[in-house]
Amino acid sequence: MIASALTIAGTDPTGGAGIQADLKSFQEREVYGMSVVTSVVAQNTMGVKDVQHLPVDFIEKQLDAVFQDIMPDAVKTGMIATSEMMELIAGKLVNQQSPYVIDPVMVAKSGHELMEEKSKQTVRDKLIPLAAIATPNIPEAEILVEFPIKNLSDAKRAARLIVEELGAGAAIVKGGHLPGEAVDVLYDKQGYQLFQSPRLETKHTHGTGCTFSAVITSELAKGRTIPEAVAIGKEFITAAIHHTLGIGKGNGPTNHWGYRMNGLPGKKKGVDSNE
């Protein structure tokens, strides 16, 4: 039977980030995609204009509609703006057997806050301990661990702390916001693993974090291990950034077909970690 995955997140009507990026990524990885909307966001590649949060009881109705029908093989969360939403979602996920990937989305690349300030504590307390893997970027990891991350050794310490003290099963601290090569640090019970790619010079990186964590979710849904899922996520996002579409007036989206149609930069077309 086909693997299925559920994303619980906010929207991007221009399709590069949020729910839309997640569903495109699930589809690319041949996983049946489902979605529960938390907030409707009026945004584009130039920034966030406005946000409407859905009522918590309506988010609950959407979650129940999914869970009463098609049980996902993996779940990811993206933008969850308020503590009330987080508490609801934690209550629904606590008895789930399927792996849960938390992308603790806090601030959009454009600088707009996507999570209430007072809820940052709730992410740490209620959601991180339920996660098979957390995928913070550098600013998000800094908020979770409460120390500045200036280099690879800080990122390693943060990833370890998110697992050993905050209770995630694994953590990957993404290096998109550090200078130099794009190095992501995975820490799990087996120790550290680094996932590295050259830094690609482009402004078109809208939704990179959403796409990366959605691919990890897809691979966990198929039963792959965390290091296998992260390796595929890293190849997918590298190709999606490299084979840029060049659309959008601001920081454009990545190319969700890039990996399947063109493969990794420098490798032959169609190269896929499945092969």
Q: Which residues are catalytic?
A: 174, 205, 207-210
Binding mask 48-87 for ligand MP5 (x = CB under 6 A): ------------------------------xx--------
Is residue 184 involved in binding ligand ADP (CB under 6 A)? Answer: yes
User: What number of chain residues touch ligand ADP (CB under 6 A)?
Assistant: 18
Q: How far is the CB of 167 from ligand MP5 (least distance, A)?
A: 23
**Cα–Cα separations (whole angstroms), residue 50 to 85, 134, 174, 176, 249:** 18, 27, 27, 26, 18
The single residue listed with the structure tokens 């290096």 is 175
89 near ligand MP5 (CB under 6 A): no
CB 207 within 8 A of CB 236: no
**Amino acid identity at 104:** P
Judged by CB under 6 A, the stretch of 126-134, 200-208, 213-221, 240-248 that binds ligand MP5 is 200-208
Residue (of 96, 80, 136, 123) closest to 221 by Cα position? 96
Shortest reach from residue 190's CB to ligand MP5, in Å: 29
Query: At closest approach, how far in Å is the CB of 165 from ligand MP5?
Result: 25
Q: Does 185 bind ligand MP5 (CB under 6 A)?
A: no
Buried b or exposed e, range 68-88, using 16+ CB within 10 angstroms: eeeebbbbbbbbbbbbbbbbb
Question: Comparing C-alpha atoms, which of 40, 34, 29 is closest to residue 69?
Answer: 34
Report the 10 Å Cβ neighbour count for 212: 28
Amino acid at 81: A
Q: Which of 33, 99, 207, 233 binds ligand MP5 (CB under 6 A)?
A: 207
CA distances from 272 to 121, 214, 224 (A): 39, 17, 15
**Tokens at residue 123, please?**
């992410």
The verdict on 112 binding ligand ADP (CB under 6 A) reads: no
Query: Interface with ligand ADP includes 234 (CB under 6 A)?
Result: yes
Q: Which of 235, 21, 25 is nearest to 109 (CA)?
A: 21
* Among the listed residues 25, 208, 238, 254, the single contact to ligand MP5 using CB under 6 A: 208
Q: Does 216 bind ligand MP5 (CB under 6 A)?
A: no
Q: Is residue 209 within the footprint of ligand MP5 (CB under 6 A)?
A: yes
Cβ proximity of 218 and 26 under 8 Å: yes
Contacts of 75 (CB under 8 A, 6+ apart): 5, 6, 7, 8, 93, 96, 98, 99, 100, 101, 217
Taking the least distance from each CB to ligand MP5, the nearer of 208 and 255 is 208
The answer to whether 205 contacts ligand ADP (rule: CB under 6 A) is yes
Using CB under 6 A as the binding rule, whether residue 140 contacts ligand MP5 is answered as no
Q: Does 197 bind ligand ADP (CB under 6 A)?
A: yes
- Catalog residues that contact ligand ADP under the rule CB under 6 A: 137, 174-177, 182, 184, 197, 199-200, 205, 208-209, 212, 234, 237-238, 241
Residues that bind ligand MP5 (CB under 6 A): 9-12, 17-18, 41, 43, 78-79, 105, 108-109, 114, 206-210
